[in-house]
């Protein structure tokens, strides 16, 4: 269903937390695999879907992350990265999104020898082609540093690359990966460097680890938090998020799948709204989580009782929090973000 249809899906106009590798369709994966002669576990796109989408019994973020192995295997050339970015951008435009910040880690695409900069340029080229065709959906990139061992040098290169491409399609950097295994505090130098280069950043925090991870991200200077579900465990942290105006990039379906929350009845989104925290709703991974931005609003309406007034506030929060819209606010001023034209 697209947001051109009636219903809560129409509020899914902006996606601020969307991973490239976790959002490629089975058709795209199959096409990329054929181009690069990568063996696949199934012969058809339909057969591939079970390998790309998380199982119902997923018990943790670490288990969830296993679904990225196959997409990464086919995203190791400039040509495939560009085609993947184009296909995803075209799909978002078809669904009716107006703006998306799509994130990926350029250091994960060098197994066949391409550099981080080459990976970034390829993705931006794909976004550019999709934008030209749609004329309605603006696509921007967030470059992810990665949690892990022996990643410091690659992460520093990611921050430097982001700096070179700021204003040329890149809008920020991020920190992604296994949060519980590699604490946020271990990556202080990367974000000190980002601040020195005036590169804004968001950090995945408060998903697989607790409030201390979010506190550390705020200490580093993050202006947005990826997920932030567990901020609800700390009253002072919620006050601080509201005071700073820090935006939370919440992803309901993904948060349920990784067991960041056990049920939507426990979801803190409405509490965050009531406390004046700038909450936004996003898809995280369209294929891995089998969702998209509009579907997240429909889910919250159906099973959480989200009202149209609340949905409108979430959409307005996203417009204000978007890195790219902050830079070019005049382009978006005066638009009616609650209804499709």
Q: Can 207 be counted among the known catalytic residues?
A: yes
Query: What is 255-290 written as a DSSP string?
Result: HHHTTSSS-GGG--HHHHHHTT-EEEE--B-TTTTT
SS3 203: strand
Q: Which of 125, 176, 123 has its CA nearest to residue 284? A: 176
From CA 231, how far away is CA 215, in angstroms rounded? 9
Q: What is the dihedral of CA 283, 211, 304, 6, to 10 degrees?
A: -30
Length of the chain (residues) = 341
CB 58 within 8 A of CB 65: no
**Residue 116, C-beta contacts closer than 8 angstroms, at least 6 positions apart:** 106, 107, 109, 110, 154, 157, 158, 161
Which of the following is catalytic: 131, 207, 296, 310?
Answer: 207
How would you class 187 by CB atoms within 10 Å of its CB: exposed for 0-12, middle for 13-18, buried for 19 or more? buried
Catalytic residues: 207
């Amino acid at each position: 269903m697209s947001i051109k249809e009636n219903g809560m899906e129409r509020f899914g106009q902006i996606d601020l937390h969307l991973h490239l590798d976790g959002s490629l369709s089975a058709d795209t994966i199959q096409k990329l695999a054929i181009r690069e002669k990568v063996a696949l576990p199934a012969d058809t796109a339909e057969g591939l879907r079970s390998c790309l989408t998380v199982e119902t019994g997923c018990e943790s973020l670490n288990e969830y992350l296993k679904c990225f192995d196959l997409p990464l295997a086919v995203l190791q050339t400039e040509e495939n990265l560009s085609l993947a970015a184009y296909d995803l951008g075209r799909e978002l435009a078809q669904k009716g999104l107006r703006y998306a910040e799509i994130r990926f880690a350029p250091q994960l695409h060098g197994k066949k020898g391409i550099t981080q900069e080459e990976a970034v340029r390829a993705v931006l080229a794909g976004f550019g082609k999709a934008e030209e065709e749609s004329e309605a959906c603006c696509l921007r990139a967030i470059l992810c540093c990665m949690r892990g061992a022996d990643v410091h040098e690659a992460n520093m290169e990611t921050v430097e690359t982001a700096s070179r491409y700021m204003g040329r399609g890149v809008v920020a950097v991020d920190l992604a990966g296994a949060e519980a295994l590699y604490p946020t505090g271990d990556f202080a130098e990367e974000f000190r460097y980002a601040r020195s280069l005036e590169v804004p950043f968001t950090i995945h925090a408060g998903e697989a680890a607790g409030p201390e991870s979010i506190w550390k991200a705020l200490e580093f200077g993050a202006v947005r938090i990826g997920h932030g579900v567990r901020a609800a465990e700390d009253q002072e942290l919620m006050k601080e998020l509201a005071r700073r105006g820090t935006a939370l990039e919440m992803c309901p379906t993904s948060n349920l799948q990784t067991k960041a929350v056990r049920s939507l009845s426990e979801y803190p989104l409405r509490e965050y709204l009531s406390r004046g925290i700038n909450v936004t709703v996003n898809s995280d991974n369209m294929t891995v989580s089998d969702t998209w931005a509009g579907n997240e609003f429909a889910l919250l309406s159906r099973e959480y009782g989200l009202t149209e007034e609340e949905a409108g506030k979430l959409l307005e929060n996203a417009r204000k929090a978007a890195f790219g819209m902050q830079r070019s606010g005049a382009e978006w001023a005066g638009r009616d973000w609650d209804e499709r034209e």
